[in-house]
Structure 1
Amino acid sequence: MTLLYIVLSTFIGGLLSVLIAASLTVALLGRIVKHLVSLSTGVLLGTALLNILPEAFENRAAPPQGLFITLLCGLMFFFLLEKVELYRHNHHHEGDGHHHHHHFDAEQAGRGGMSVLLGDSIHNFCDGIIIAAAFLTDLHLGLATAVAIIAHEIPQEVGDYIVLLNAGLSRSKALAFNAISGLAAVAGGIVGYFIVGPWEALFPYLLVAASSSFIYVAVADLIPQLQRRLPWRDTVLQLAWLGAGLALVVVIVMVSGEHGSPGGH
């Protein structure tokens, strides 16, 4: 059953982003992506700081100093990975309110766009491993982690879709690229289940590594996009979406606490 949960969670994330992209117009997608970025910022930070890290530090077999070292190394690793453009997150496109120059999307969908798709695939594969480790630790933690990753995957994949579409690709080709990138998470989940499973003592460290991924994406990628001068109404809306993401995590944590913490394997 645990493997089924892992496969379903990783598959749903990619499927939702493709379905949303396929069902809405480019103009509408451009307007909602910024709200989804705010939502995913709250979900990622809330999941990392209120759910995953507390779960990891509750394991007395793992010394806190070792877990903090893992967190630091994780943040540095994702920083270096982004340096070689394998951990980029594409939420920028023409018409997103950032005043990009004409043909910006076409440039992004050239060699840079292909590196973005490659980076997304690698990132999705890692997300799959993270989801597997979370489900193997605890069912409720796995569900919360999957929700956080799905919340971030949707604006990420929609952003890629808009860039590819505005660069001249057909809807079917742009959706196909997104679907292939999303399936990398399923592969990562399956690999994680069989490779990570026997190493239960490493679960706290894997959870901290997952948290470092969430924190890095939120702080280094998403929050800088939100730090712009906006009319007060847009600022309130931005904070409302971010708060909604945090509230979602709090609800999940409360519900999980009420139902106990049965092991996922």
Structure 2
Amino acid sequence: MSTLLLIVLFTAIGGILSVMAAGVFLLLPEQQRQNVLPHGISFATGALLTGAFCGLIPHAFEEVAVADMPMLSATILIGILLFFILEKLLVWRHCHSHACEAHGEDSHDEHDHAHAHNHSHDNSRRATGMFIILGDSIHNFVDGVLIGAAFLTDPQLGIVTSLAVAAHEIPQEVGDFAILLHSGYTRKKALIYNMLASLTTVIGGVLAYFSLGDLHHILPYFLTLAASSFIYIAVADLIPSLHQKTDIKTSLQQIGFILAGVALILVMQSIAHRFEG
């Protein structure tokens, strides 16, 4: 199977199928969704960290000379800081547009402000939904580029990377669905918009194939950026949510599903390696 076909196939798995899985998840009763989602987050945490530390980073270092390793390590640090800044800007934008402005009003203006705030609330929620779609499209495009770069380095690494992407995309897509539904979108429209946004994963992968194919010297840096993305998502976004519950039963379940995510990536690495051999 050609590299381009593999990229198209696995970017579709990482994008479109994750949206479909999230859509099926939304058909579950609310209580079941609340019970299952934390397990998905734990599983994604293990898959992302294993994909980064046992897949992307080792392959990146294998592709460079010893003299370039410090720069490659610095790329991981820069990537983590960059993702922190980008997320900070997104949080600031949301705060500035909504709650922070409301809290900044003087108390004697609150009554006068209430009517205007309620009048624009629906439009604000709709804008938030569109912002989520735009942000998801960009995020999926970057995921596609990173999956494409991984396949150009090693098909085995590409498979592992696409699986790690899918593992964290499903819980994220569920969250995106929830935001879109809260913003006034119907389930059908939310599914269509998320499906369209997921197509950018395939676009990113195909563009990476044609634009990075002759630039193998920069592929290790894309791999380390992908690793820093996985590490940041797991450590900054997913793990803090797991700490919200500290009872023994929940903690053991979290550890179990994290280890399941680790095991999946390691097993898929082994299978892909044997298949390649």
State the TM-score, normalizing by the size of structure 1.
0.84
Partner residue in 1 for 2:144: 128
Instruction: Name the SS of the counterpart of 1:184 in structure 2.
Output: helix
The counterpart of 1:40, out of the listed 41, 44, 67, is 44
The correspondence for 1:113, drawn from 129, 140, 153, is 129
1:10 aligned residue: 11
The Cα of 1:131 is off from its aligned counterpart by 0.3
2:55 to 25, 31, 51: 51
Within 5 A, what are the aligned runs for 1:17-166?
17-23=18-24, 24-25=27-28, 27=30, 28-61=32-65, 63-85=68-90, 109-166=125-182
- In 1, distance between residues paired with 2:237 and 2:129? 17
> Structure 1: which 5+ residue stretches go unaligned?
89-105
User: 1:172-208 deviations in whole A, cap 9, x for unaligned?
Assistant: 1110121111111111111111111110111111111
State whether residues 11 and 202 of structure 2, in contact with CA within 8 Å, keep that contact through their aligned partners in structure 1: yes
Secondary structure in 1 aligned to 2:90?
A: coil
Q: In the TM superposition, what whole-angstrom CA distance separates every residue of 1:70-100 from its partner, at most 9, and x where no partner exists? A: 11111111111112219x9xxxxxxxxxxxx
- Counterpart Cα distance in 2 of 1:65 and 1:107: 49
Residue ranges of structure 2 left out of the alignment (5+ in a row): 94-121
Paired residue type of 1:136: L
Task: Quote the Cα distance in structure 1 between the aligned partners of 2:73 and 2:227.
Answer: 11
Q: Structure 1 residues 129, 210: closer, same or farther in 2, change over 3 A?
A: same
Deviation at 1:260, TM superposition (A): 5.5
Structure 2 counterpart of 1:25, which letter? L
Partner of 2:250: 234
Which has the bigger relative contact order, CA under 8 A and spacing at least 6?
A: 2
Aligned residue for 1:198, secondary structure, equals: coil
Counting aligned pairs with the same residue, the percent is 44
Matched residue pairs, number?
243
Distance in 1 of aligned mates of 2:12 and 2:151: 15
Q: Which amino acid aligns with 2:43?
A: L
Contact 1:26 1:162 in 2 (8 A): no
User: Displacement of 1:249 after TM fit?
Assistant: 1.6
Q: Is the 8 Å Cα contact of residues 14 and 153 (structure 1) preserved in structure 2?
A: yes
- 1:259: how far off? 4.8
Aligned residue identity for 1:158? V
CA distance in 1, matches of 2:183, 2:64: 52
Higher Rg: 2
Are the counterparts in 1 of residues 22 and 171 from structure 2 also a CA contact under 8 Å? no
The 3 A distance-change label for structure 1 pair 133 and 166 is: same
Deviation at 1:9, TM superposition (A): 1.1
Contact 1:17 1:158 in 2 (8 A): no
Amino acid at match of 1:180: L
**CA apart distance, 1:150:** 0.7
SS of match in other structure, 2:18 = helix
Query: Where is the helix percentage greater, Structure 1 or Structure 2?
Result: 2
What is the alpha-carbon distance in structure 2 between the residues aligned to residue 11 and residue 256 of structure 1? 18
Distance 1:126 1:108, change over 3 A: farther
